[in-house]
């Protein structure tokens, strides 16, 4: 025992142990985050570098240097049906560990049946989970002029899908922005550059939790 004690006190052994510890992997493994959204995530009407998805990559680079990659597969005007057609190739190409689904607003603005929107959202989640990805669902709301019944049915879709497939739900992605004219573009539909940091703050706790 005395021999072992002397051995572990030696400088050579200490240096060897430190060298082995330095080679151990970090506790947070590198992950690919796939964002599948519409104009809110595509950065419509602003410089793409100002968009919340780009701000997300910058924050991750600061907190987890050279670890996580964000792939922005968002398209302005995208619907749940359009994303459903694109998703298999995206999953195959990028093999993401995390999929962020930010969709449904354009479906509602076009008056699509809530049941169809819910079905498409469910299939988007299912396909992502089948590829072993963790899913985050970002909820949306629509203007009151669509009627209370339609608005409630649309908003309830996100809750139903999140509960059914046990995925984390951000109830309202535009929280703190919608209704504030100074944070919206002239069309009063799309958030401006100043609003992007708020979108990031809304999203980031969910993304960090998934990491």
Catalytic residue check, 187: yes
CB neighbours of 137 closer than 8 A, spacing ≥ 6? 101, 121, 125, 158, 161, 162, 167, 168, 169, 170
Q: Which residue of the set 38, 41, 68, 190 is catalytic? A: 190
- Among 84, 79, 73, smallest CA distance to 123 is for 84
Given 38, 39, 41, 162, which residue is catalytic? 39
How many angstroms separate the CA atoms of 175 and 157, rounded? Answer: 18
Is 39 one of the catalytic residues?
A: yes
Dihedrals phi, psi of 84, to nearest 5 degrees: -60, -35
Q: For the packed helices 114-130 and 80-94, what is the interaxial angle rounded to 10 degrees? A: 10
Residues annotated as catalytic are 39, 187, 190
């Amino acid at each position: 025992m005395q021999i072992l004690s002397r051995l572990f006190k030696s400088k050579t052994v200490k240096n060897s142990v430190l060298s082995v510890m330095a080679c151990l992997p970090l506790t947070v493994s590198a992950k690919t985050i796939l964002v599948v959204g519409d104009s809110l995530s595509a950065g419509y009407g602003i410089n793409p570098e100002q968009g919340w998805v780009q701000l997300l990559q910058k924050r991750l680079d600061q907190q987890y240097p050279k670890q996580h990659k964000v792939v922005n597969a968002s398209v302005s005007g995208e619907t749940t049906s359009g994303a459903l057609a694109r998703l298999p190739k995206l999953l195959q190409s990028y093999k993401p560990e995390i999929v962020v689904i930010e969709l449904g607003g354009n479906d509602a603005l076009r008056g699509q049946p809530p049941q169809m929107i819910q079905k498409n959202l469910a299939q988007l989640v299912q396909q992502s989970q089948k590829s072993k990805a963790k899913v985050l669902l970002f909820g949306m709301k629509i203007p009151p002029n669509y009627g209370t019944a339609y608005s409630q049915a649309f908003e309830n879709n996100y809750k139903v899908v999140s509960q059914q497939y046990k995925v984390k739900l951000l109830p309202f992605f535009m929280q703190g922005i919608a209704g504030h004219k100074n944070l919206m573009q002239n069309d009063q539909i799309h958030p401006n550059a100043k609003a992007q940091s708020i979108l990031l703050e809304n999203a980031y706790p969910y993304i960090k939790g998934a990491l």
